[in-house]
Structure 1
Amino acid sequence: MRTLLRQAAVIAGLALPVVHAGEVEVLHYWTSGGEAAALDVLKQQISAEGHQWQDFVIAGGGGGNAMAELQSRVLKGRPPAAAQIKGLDIQRWARLGFLEDLNNIAEQQQWDNKLPPVVADVMKHGDQYVAVPVNVHRTNWLWVNKPLLDRLNISAPQTWEEFDVAAEAIRAAGYQVIAQGDQPWQHATLFETIALSIGGPEYYQAAYVDHDFSALKSSTTEAVFERYFKLLNWITFDDQNEWNENTAKVINGEAAFQIMGDWAKGEFKNAGLTPREDYLCVPVPGTAGQFLFNIDSFAIFQLRDVENSQIEAQNALVQNIMSESFQRTFNQNKGSIPARTDMSMADFDACARSSMNDFLAASANNALKPSIAHGLATTGTVQQYFYEKIAELTATPTTPADASSQLAKAIRYGLYVIK
């Protein structure tokens, strides 16, 4: 009966104006300026259709706090209409029977023709769509204050050797080299980009996607840690730990670089800056032609014992997220690229056009890899053990050999906990 009700609501939503306003509660953790501006696009579209958006905001970069609150709500039988969930954790909620079958909407909007397989596969459980993607992020970006480097006659580094030379000059001139917050997920983001840079796509796949123990304990992992520990020497942690606070340091000219996903670009845009004039977006040294991806998505929860208007509002949310107008405007504000690959990128800035080109090229060359730091390569349990171990080794560095052994054991333990 609930399925028939939803099918009727989908057909009505696609064919007729909304008659009864419904409420749609959405759990998310987008609270920075650029993120909030992007999300406002979706709120406005839902409001324009006569529905009421109810924010369920849990602050905290990376979403760990949000997932704890979501679990509490679901176990009490009060799930939100949608929740910001990524990667393999979508599959976990679907296996438990909490997520809605979106195939009717997907067929109406022709998702299979608009989403690349790497995105569609993450949104599906078996052959059923259970989540809707809003974007694709690249995590291996180096954000650069261009005027600062110009004053020092420094080019954006393409290798780690060039980076070290630039870092010496930047520090000698009295500026911070790398702006980064002292948070586990930020350390993990930095580490995964170095892993891709030093080891390449095949090593990254084996160690951080397949969790092959021999790859994790290899000399390559030791080389990754050697570079990671060296890079920590160019970071000065302070009381500004949020990622957007550190993006602001690059924007304001206090720091030269930030290694961060392209959600950082939303902060540059929010500050009125222009890529290639005020700032640069370049691949992390050693990762040109490679792409670590993170997909923001909303898992759609089954709503029981609710008014039909709430089902209509939930359907409207899903339909709007996959609309071309939303995918364009949202991603222009967020800093990411559309999840859909059937859209023109002419209205996007230079960073976004570069990102889409690299995304498609990396996909064709087997250099497109899921982010472990952002939950696309593994489960939340393994990700948490990864976070904790990288944070511990950041605070108390050891030898590269010992560090690789500790990380391998931490990830293996995370896998055993799941089993």
Structure 2
Amino acid sequence: MKQPAKRALALAILGMAMLAAEPALADQTSLSVINWWTAGSEAKAMNVLVQMMKAQGVNIKNDAIAGGGGAQARTILKTRLMEGETPGAAQIKGVEIQQWGHTGLLANVDAAAKAGDWDQNIPTEIDNYMKYKGNYVAAPMDLHRLNWLWYNRAVLTKAGIKTPPKDWDELIADLAKVQAKGMIPMAGGGNGWMIATEFDPIALETGGPEWYRDVFVKLDAKAIDSPTMVKALERLRQIEKYTPKSLAGRTWNYDTGLVAHGQAAFQIMGDWANGQFEFLGVTPGGPKVGCVAFPGTANDFIYNVDSFIFFRQHSAAGREATIKLAETMTSPKFQLLFNKYKGSIPDLMNVSLKGYNPCQLKSRAQFLTASKEHNLVPSFSQNMSTYGPPTGAFIDSLDQFYTSNESPQAAAAAMAKRVEVAKSQD
């Protein structure tokens, strides 16, 4: 994606202002790591990093800022940098890494990449995001799949459903059966980010990988304002009708709890929900909760990679700590344990998944298959497919549609206009 000139200039000015201040931590063996992982499973996973770095003499401040999708965390990051507070690393994903590279603030961690042989051990689809002008400035920590449908087996049984849905019509029929029994069919719809996360696999199922890329990677106005988008929005409206309005304002992990405890039948969510189920004592793929590819997307894989950019430090100790942090994040030992708790799978394809649950094993197998068949697509809802303003335009459009009586046709047209404006925005 070509960097919009206005945004590039704004970030360059931001970079010069921050570099002029030359902030430095009082103790450069301490590094703040900004992220938005506040759910129980996420905090548990992040503690793996804290403890491994502590053993190497580096104190990590787990600077977790609430807000699914990370919008609040990114805002606070920019504010702190302008105030002269430089973190060690921050959770930034996808093409946005390139934008941060323009600021001149990022540290070169090629030494860590060489030590860990990232070029060989990390899939190209992931590895390419981590470089700016040929140098590594970020490291991946996990690989998530978005197009999952989680379900409570007991609730489905009570509704007379013997097997999870395999296509769209079966899904809608199953939701109706659950509702007829007085139970919650679908847990979700809490906020704009969650609505977009639910729409992610709906869009893929409706239009397929090529159309998905046209919309969310190429930002093609004709693909956005199209009959396919209208159909996808119609399907989102169907899901909305089976989602209680009382769940508005709730978090994704609250909804995961409803499914885990038999209070709801289904949840559409990335496999960070997998980690939360485990945290709640329920193993996905076990006797209580099941996982299945979102109906119609069994051969596809919407991916999300949580990565961290590293900031330049102004002391030898700080630079050494940064390299240690990058090396640890991509070490087999760390990725094995971290991803087991997080619900994801390691970015390193040479790491064994021994001890992982059935859903994680399915994820690894499907990633490898989808990669060969060119059915991998970067998630728009998780900031992987494009940069901030267009992503925000998609999410705002979906939120507006979901929480109003706007028609699918009007919503598709409005979405195309919002995205077109956002493409040239700062």
- Corresponding residue for residue 22 of structure 2: none
For residue 303 of structure 2, what is the amino acid of its counterpart?
A: F
Residues in 1 aligned to 2:281 and 2:258: alpha-carbon distance in whole angstroms? 15
Q: Distance in 2 between matches of 1:126 and 1:280?
A: 43
Name the residue aligned to 1:256.
265
Counterpart for residue 351 of structure 1: 359
The code of the aligned residue for 2:357 comes to D
Equivalent residues in 2 for 1:106-255 (5 A)?
106-154=113-161, 155-238=163-246, 241-255=250-264
- Conservation of the 8 A alpha-carbon contact between 2:401 and 2:407: no
Indicate whether 1:100 and 2:107 are aligned.
yes
- The alpha-carbon distance between structure 1 residues 269 and 184, as it changes in their structure 2 partners (threshold 3 A), is same
**TM-score normalised by structure 1 residue count:** 0.92
Q: Secondary structure at the match of 1:383?
A: helix
1:284 has 2:291 as partner: no
Partner of 1:322: 330
- Residue type of the partner of 2:259? V
Unaligned runs of 5+ in 2: 1-26
Paired residue type of 1:210:
K
**Sequence identity (%):** 36
Which ranges in structure 1 are unaligned for 5 or more consecutive residues?
Answer: 1-19
Quick one: distance in 1 between partners of 2:321 and 2:85? Answer: 17
Runs of 4+ in 1 over 3 A off after TM superposition: none
Change (3 A) 1:210 1:21: closer
Distance 2:37 2:353 in 1: 24
Q: Is residue 190–residue 252 contact of structure 2 (8 Å, CA) maintained in 1?
A: no
Q: Return closer, same or farther for 1:398/1:21 CA change in 2, 3 Å cut-off.
A: closer
Corresponding residue number in structure 2 for 1:398? 406
Counterpart-to-counterpart distance in 2, 1:371 and 1:33? 23
- In structure 2, how many angstroms separate the alpha carbons of the residues matched to 1:29 and 1:275? 24
Decide whether the 8 Å contact of 2:37 with 2:43 is kept in 1. Answer: yes
- Range with bigger deviation, 70-79 or 188-197: 70-79
Q: Secondary structure at the match of 1:348?
A: coil
The CA deviation string for residues 220-270 of structure 1, in whole angstroms up to 9 with x for no partner, is 111111111111101113255111011111011110000000000111101
Alignment check: 8 A CA contact 1:21 1:50 kept:
no
Q: CA deviation at 1:373?
A: 0.4
SS at match of 1:408: helix
The correspondence for 1:381, drawn from 384, 389, 401, is 389
| 8 Å CA contact 1:372, 1:378 repeated in 2 | yes
Tell me, what secondary structure is at the counterpart of 1:417? coil
Answering whether residue 243 of structure 2 is matched by residue 273 of structure 1, we say no
Is 2:56 the counterpart of 1:49? Answer: yes
Cα deviations by residue, 1:157-191 (Å, 9 ceiling, x for unpaired): 11111111111110111110110142110011111
Alignment-derived partner of residue 302 in structure 1: 312
Distance in 2 (CA, whole Å) between partners of 1:182 and 1:329 is 30
Structure 1 residues 72 and 21: alpha-carbon distance in aligned structure 2, compared to 1, 3 A threshold: closer
Which whole-Å CA distance do the structure 1 matches of 2:185 and 2:302 have between them? 23
- Deviation, structure 1 residue 285: 1.2
Match 1:335 to one of 333, 336, 343:
343
Q: Please state if 1:66 is matched with 2:73.
A: yes
Distance 1:123-1:173 versus aligned 2 partners, 3 A rule: same
Distance 1:319 1:376 in 2: 23
Q: How many residues align?
A: 397
Question: What amino acid does structure 2 have at the position aligned with 1:244?
Answer: N
Q: Deviations over 1:342-397 (max 9, x none)?
A: 12223321111100111111111111000010000010111111111111111113
**Residue in structure 2 matched with residue 89 of structure 1 by the alignment:** 96
CA distance in 2, matches of 1:109, 1:229: 46
C-alpha contact (below 8 Å) 2:312/2:319 kept by paired residues: no
Report if the CA contact (8 A) 1:140-1:284 is conserved.
yes
1:291/1:369 contact within 8 Å kept: yes
C-alpha distance 266-213 of structure 1, shift in aligned 2 (>3 A): same
Is 1:371 the counterpart of 2:379 in the alignment? yes
Using the size of structure 2 for normalisation, the TM-score is 0.90
Tell me the CA shift for residue 21 of structure 1: 8.5
Aligned counterparts of 1:201 and 1:379: Cα–Cα separation in 2: 19
Give 1:416's aligned residue: 424
Contact 1:137 1:262 survives alignment (8 Å): yes
Kept after mapping to 1: 8 A contact 2:40/2:276: yes
SS of 2:424's equivalent in the other structure is helix
